[in-house]
Structure 1
């Protein structure tokens, strides 16, 4: 049984690596890296966000998020807005150009993600989500 756990670990990591590669190639067609696209996707779906929170939501360090926000600002996809109630908080806000970019490109990216799972039934996908959540929650406790 222990060998199956090691095999599951290896298969999970390899699958994740393959999925990351598909994602990397997909967003590269838009002239962005994965992190830049993840920030835009978050803002596109959730609206403006405190910069300090974005890193936690897309799983990158706070030092990296500043660099990514700078790059997206230079591309005129987002801008920074100071919080009127708390000087320590700065929001990242999508520009109209950023929204147009995502309106144009997000559906193509979504189709690529859907292709990754096209061989699975809806039931398989639901089971996969449940199992991966169980593994992730358990790993967090270790």
Structure 2
């Protein structure tokens, strides 16, 4: 089992590296990977508070402030005052930020499609089912053995 786990870890590592490389080759955004993850999170959340972003990214609020400052200078995000709590600041994507996220998602979809073109439809279904099974399973269930 340890050998299989090691093979899986290596495969995940190579896949992530390949996806990162292919995405970087197709895009030319002047942001770091962390900043891009933050943009995706803001897109998903709508207009989250800075504290929420820090919590989601598991970083100090001051680190989020620095990241948001950079993204704001690029005109990808803007700060807004929380209408329910004037002491709180929220952040949302600008039209340019939304355009970049849309472009990124289309390119990512195209890259994944090119990866999946190497598999049969049955292999794709099996892959999805297995990934869903892993994602939805209890990580502490050592007795399940695939049940």
| Common topology (TM > 0.5) | yes
Could you say which residue in structure 1 is the equivalent of 2:70? 71
TM-superposed deviation, 1:27: 4.2
Q: Which runs of 5+ in 1 are unaligned?
A: none
TM-superposed deviation, 1:10: 1.9
Q: Which runs of 5+ in 2 are unaligned?
A: 142-147
Q: Distance in 2 between matches of 1:103 and 1:34?
A: 16
TM-superposed deviation, 1:117: 4.9
Instruction: State which structure, 1 or 2, has the greater radius of gyration over its C-alpha atoms.
Output: 2
Q: Distance in 2 between matches of 1:55 and 1:19?
A: 27
- Of Structure 1 and Structure 2, the greater helix share is in 1
TM-superposed deviation, 1:68: 2.1
TM-superposed deviation, 1:61: 1.5
Question: Which of 132, 136, 145 is the equivalent residue of 1:129?
Answer: 132
Taking a change above 3 Å as real, the CA distance of residues 54 and 65 of structure 1, as seen in their structure-2 partners, is: same
Conservation of the 8 A alpha-carbon contact between 1:27 and 1:37: no
Q: Distance in 1 between matches of 2:68 and 2:129?
A: 34
1:54-69 matched pairs, under 5 angstroms: 54-57=53-56, 59-62=57-60, 63-69=62-68
TM-score scaled by length of structure 1: 0.72
Aligned residue-pair number: 133
Could you say which residue in structure 1 is the equivalent of 2:140? 138
Q: Distance in 1 between matches of 2:87 and 2:10?
A: 40
Conservation of the 8 A alpha-carbon contact between 1:30 and 1:105: no
